[in-house]
Amino acid sequence: MVLSKIASESDVFVHSTFASRYVRTSLPRFKMAENSIPKEAAYQIINDELMLDGNPRLNLASFVTTWMEPECDKLMMASINKNYVDMDEYPVTTELQNRCVNIIAHLFNAPLEESESAVGVGTVGSSEAIMLAGLAFKRKWQNKRRAEGKPIDNPNIVTGANVQVCWEKFARYFEVELKEVKLKEGYYVMDPEKAVEMVDENTICVAAILGSTLNGEFEDVKRVNDLLVEKNKETGWDTPIHVDAASGGFIAPFLYPELEWDFRLPLVKSINVSGHKYGLVYAGIGWVIWRNKEDLPEELIFHINYLGADQPTFTLNFSKGSSQVIAQYYQLIRLGFEGYRNVMENCRENMIVLKEGLEKTERFNIVSKDEGVPLVAFSLRDNHRHDEFEISDLLRRFGWIVPAYTMPPDAQHVTVLRVVIREDFSRTLAERLVNDIQKVLHELDTLPSKLSSNVKAADEKDGQPAETRALESKKSDLEKTREITTIWRKFVTARKQKMNVVC
């Protein structure tokens, strides 16, 4: 007699995923399924769906590291199950974090004695680092005001309108007014003179950016420091500076060692940097360093002992993985000063290759600077028929992810494209990108204007000839640019909604 068995609905054995029922049934999206599925099927189905993501290496919108050496990948995988907060259980990992803090502090010229330890902490990214630095400034300001018998209910930070959104988050979450210096066409960073003019007795710090997200430009931190020194003397205030070096902190020491932006300036009290950007580590690691112990109020530090020995902690996140901390230490000792300098020089040279290739097309204005984060921000010289959003959209056909965006106030009428040059972006890729941009430009030259198409459609709907409508409403160049931008914003938003994209 032959015995047979019918597999149950929850049978976890599958001969072939693509021969199973699991590839013809919908995946759970909002509710957990009743039954389990085989691990092979779960892996294959999710892996296949992830193929629809963009290629991280071709994501030129991001500053975040997308390649590391295999040896570092192994270290990260070996420590992926370690919770960094368990310092007593993982003392070596804690020691590596402390080494990173000290190495970075010395890189930023912190005024430390021979045997003195630096004051700083590893964070999930620069957003958390900025939150911690901002809290330290706010608490120090509050303590000083209380001692003087003055109100503490209206703190503010002075910065440029080009700041990253994490500064707006800090201001909103922790009830601090953000006083922004407006930009203008041709000048896309904070004006030091205007910034210091906006400082008042309620200013907890001036935030300067070493590497603007918009065009990679370094703000003049030394000029801010010098102007603020004079103002503090005149007013009796002691307004400090924080440097948001998320992108530029691992660039300036290697490419521009003579540039004074760090703790060499007396009013710079804290600096944040993203290890997962030009620190060359995968996403999930940032650092914040304070000048002295006095710049980090003791009451912000918590001491816990329920995980073992007494552990001081100053973080917004409690549990977090150890992998990125270990990866940062690997990069610091693996590359050393020479290795980081070589990487940054390669990035700068490939940036110049891309910039010169775009200039040769004679179709673009370059709005980024040669000195700064190695990126190229550029805009069309003539965007009456087609605009930067169309170029960004068509480049996706070739696999490139190149963002197009409008500048903040008062330069919001300027639209730019931006290509970030990372460690893994070679000269070959730069030349290939220029070639693909030329193909896109040629295709756009053969297409009717997007604005004209929309106007014509609206005219036909209203029953009027396009020519008549055109004569009745002559628009300025600025109005046309804004209309094109609005049309493409709606188009991109509609596409994201269809794809269930969450920003």
Say how far apart CA 317 and CA 326 lie, in whole Å: 18
Between these two residues, 433 and 480, which has the higher pLDDT value?
433
Residue 5 has what pLDDT? 52
Q: Would you state the structure tokens that stand for residue 1, as one six-digit string? A: 């007699």
Asked whether residue 454 carries a pLDDT value surpassing 80, the answer given is no
CA–CA separation, 205 and 134 (whole Å): 8
Identify the pLDDT of residue 114.
86
Contacts with 238 (C-beta within 8 Å, 6 or more apart), sequence order: 144, 232
341-446: CATH, from 3.20.20.70, 3.40.50.970, 3.30.210.10, 3.90.1150.160: 3.90.1150.160
Q: What mean pLDDT comes out for the span 39-64?
A: 93
- Of the chain, the percentage scoring pLDDT greater than 90 comes to 75
Token duo for residue 156: 């503010």
Q: What is the pLDDT of residue 95?
A: 94
Amino acid at 305: N
Of the chain, the percentage scoring pLDDT greater than 70 comes to: 85
Of 404, 400, 401, nearest in space to 388 by CA: 404
Distance CA 421, CA 349 (A): 10
* One-letter-per-residue 3-state SS of 284-309: CCEEEEECCHHHCCHHHCEEECCCCC
> Rounded to an integer, what distance in angstroms lies between the CA atom of residue 133 and that of residue 244?
10
Instruction: Identify the weakest region by mean pLDDT among 122-126, 223-227, 374-378.
Output: 122-126
| Token code pair at residue 122 | 């590893």
Q: Rounded CA gap, 215 and 233, in Å?
A: 34
Using the predicted structure, report yes or no on whether residue 127 has a pLDDT greater than 90: yes
Q: Residues near 338 by Cβ (< 8 Å), separated by ≥ 6?
A: none
pLDDT computed for residue 503 by the predictor: 35
pLDDT at 491: 60
pLDDT of residue 476: 53
> What is the residue type of 188?
Y
Question: Tokens 């029953």, residue?
Answer: 463
CATH 3.40.640.10, domain 74-335, yes or no: yes
Q: How far apart are CA 66 and CA 283, in angstroms?
A: 8
- Residues 182-240 have pLDDT tens digits of 999 999 999 999 999 999 999 999 999 999 999 999 999 999 999 999 999 999 999 99
CA-based Rg of the chain, rounded to a whole angstrom? 27
| Residue at token pair 């699991």 | 22
Q: For residue 243, what pLDDT is reported?
A: 98
Among 349, 351, 367, 392, residue whose Cα is nearest residue 162: 367
- 369 with 355: CB under 8 angstroms? no
Q: Alpha carbon of 53 to those of 46, 396, 399: distances in Å?
A: 12, 12, 11
Using CA atoms, how far apart are residues 224 and 246, in angstroms rounded to an integer?
18
Which whole-number Å values give the CA distances from 43 to 23, 133, 208, 365, 473, in the listed order?
Answer: 12, 41, 45, 46, 57
Between helix 91-107 and helix 323-360 the angle, nearest 10°, is 40
pLDDT given for residue 482 in this prediction: 62
pLDDT at residue 6 greater than cutoff 70: no
Closest CA to 205 of 246, 173, 170: 170
Query: How is 181-192 classified by DSSP, letter by letter?
Result: EP-BTTB-S--H
Q: What residues have CB less than 8 Å from 424, skipping those under 6 apart? A: 57, 66, 67
Cα–Cα distance list, 140 to 31, 150, 295 (Å): 47, 14, 8
CB 177 within 8 A of CB 157: yes
**Bridging pattern class, strands 311-313 and 375-380:** unpaired
Instruction: State the DSSP code for 119.
Output: E
pTM score over 0.85: yes
Strand duo 311-313 + 302-304: pairing: antiparallel
What integer pLDDT is reported at residue 395 of this predicted model?
97
Cα 127–chain centre separation: 9
- pLDDT band (50, 70, 90) for residue 27: confident
Range 127-147 average pLDDT: 97
Among 79-83, 359-363, 446-450, whose mean pLDDT is lowest? Answer: 446-450
Lowest mean pLDDT among 121-135, 224-238, 422-436, 457-471: 457-471
User: Average pLDDT of the chain?
Assistant: 89
| Domain ranges (residues) in the chain | 16-28+37-50, 74-335, 341-446
Q: Are 268 and 220 in contact (CB under 8 A)?
A: no
pLDDT classification of 479: cutoffs 50, 70, 90 = low
pLDDT digits (tens, 9 = 90+) for 296-349: 999 998 876 655 555 677 888 888 899 999 999 999 999 999 999 999 999 999
Structure tokens that stand for 50 in this block: 């992830």
**Residues 242 and 133 sit within 8 Å (Cβ to Cβ):** yes
Residue 497: its pLDDT value, please? Answer: 53
Neighbours of 27 (CB within 10 A): 11
Least confident range of 112-116, 391-395, 497-501:
497-501
d(CA 298, CA 314): 10
Q: State how far the alpha carbon of 496 is from the alpha carbons of 491, 492, 502, in Å.
A: 9, 6, 8
- Most trustworthy range by pLDDT among 426-430, 485-489, 491-495: 426-430
Please identify which residue in the block is written with the tokens 């046309």. Answer: 480
For residue 388, is pLDDT > 90? yes
Residue 492, pLDDT score: 55
CB 402 within 8 A of CB 332: no
| Cα 68 to Cα 343: distance, rounded to the nearest angstrom | 13
